[in-house]
Structure 1
């Protein structure tokens, strides 16, 4: 069953990966994600349906517009393939669990918001708001499906804790954190809290750990001692996934080292 779920999730990931590219390209420019149809940015020619097939269309065209020959960014097939692979991995890992929609929502917005933040240093409200709405619906699905209403309390506590912590961090050092990070934080807190306390605790800590390591690497590469600014949104997502994948193991290890087990 898990194999079938993984296969179907991969197909869904390919389709949503194509839509992710539209969101990544258009939303930061203030454009609609619905219309007009996809077109070449160089010559304006509309992309034909047969060329709009995820990954295969780009390969068929050899990465160039069918009309003017302008290069098409390799980001498009990369996002599509990455979304499909991550969706497949989630499907194989959890199967038809009630948490599946929540994890797929998180995966989609991980890719979209990370790409946008890396490119523009922004986390647009037009993306974060739908993410928040879908998380609320998905958390309700988990709570009602499993019959565990404690999921709702953990989710609310996670959202409040992350939101307050990031807001205080922003007030303390506004140059080091954008307000977009503050708005994203409660959404990730709600996801992690709904899953487990270890996921919440480890996910929150890991974001700053990975972000700090990334900052050190950038400083070394640029040979600068300070003044290096990196987009933090992607590391918030990396931290969240660290909490989801390794939260329980890290919590057990920590409690064992501390002699609390």
Structure 2
């Protein structure tokens, strides 16, 4: 949840080109710095009853929800990987991927873009962390999976300009690598679920009158959610399907 608190800062400051470490967090209305005792994830918001201690300005419920959601996500990652030696070696990489995904999803929902300042450094960072769980076959699979999904997204972006942002293309290599590292079935389901979830959300938005056929809908959150749907268990369906066709 503490990481979730930091991700709230990242999601707010990175799109604005501000430092994520300085100055300390403050109320946007009165400018008073948030006291340490009020910075405790979730509990601080509850103690303040969702308002600034100094001026009473409402504090969005999104902040504690992101904190709590990040804590839950990290717990699910730990449960998925298990407590054996290999799982513990992979834990830093997939916790980092979870944190990166949450920050990017929040920014994409707010600003409809995926900042290079987060996406591009994620490649070497996640690659380095995956090396901790050294598995030659899995690393090769991750490299191939990342390349396949990147090329596919690039082809879609090139063939239909405006239908997809290039930030999605850059993110696709990460999604492909992190899902393929586990299994090809996880890669297959992760890629498919991103498009499926995006399509379902688009239909629901149009049905509710919130969007039209040409309304730009951020795709990054669906890519990330699709990847985690596969990583946390749905990838086994992909493995089963690939077994059926003899792959």
Per the TM alignment, residue 130 of structure 1 is displaced from its structure 2 partner at its CA by 3.2
Per the TM alignment, residue 255 of structure 1 is displaced from its structure 2 partner at its CA by 4.7
Secondary structure of the corresponding residue to residue 26 of structure 2: coil
Q: Distance in 1 between matches of 2:50 and 2:211?
A: 37
Q: Distance in 1 between matches of 2:71 and 2:5?
A: 10
Q: Does 1:121 align with 2:109?
A: no
Secondary structure of the corresponding residue to residue 130 of structure 1: helix
* Aligned 8 A contact 1:207 1:240 in 2: yes
Secondary structure of the corresponding residue to residue 213 of structure 2: coil
Per the TM alignment, residue 95 of structure 1 is displaced from its structure 2 partner at its CA by 2.9
1:112-153 deviation line (CA, Å, top 9, x unaligned): 11111011101011111232232111211122xxxx211221
* Aligned 8 A contact 2:185 2:242 in 1: no
* Structure 1 counterpart of 2:26: 39
Q: Distance in 2 between matches of 1:167 and 1:254?
A: 25
* Structure 2 counterpart of 1:21: 8
* Aligned 8 A contact 1:218 1:228 in 2: no
Per the TM alignment, residue 242 of structure 1 is displaced from its structure 2 partner at its CA by 2.5
Q: Distance in 1 between matches of 2:36 and 2:229?
A: 38
- Of 88, 91, 103, 2:94 maps to 103
Q: Does 1:168 align with 2:155?
A: yes
Q: Distance in 2 between matches of 1:156 and 1:221?
A: 40
From the superposition, tell whether residues 223 and 92 of structure 1 become closer, same or farther in structure 2 (CA, over 3 Å): closer
* Structure 2 counterpart of 1:65: 52
Query: Deviating runs (4+, > 3 A) in structure 1?
Result: 253-256
TM-score, normalised to structure 1, is 0.87
Per the TM alignment, residue 230 of structure 1 is displaced from its structure 2 partner at its CA by 0.9
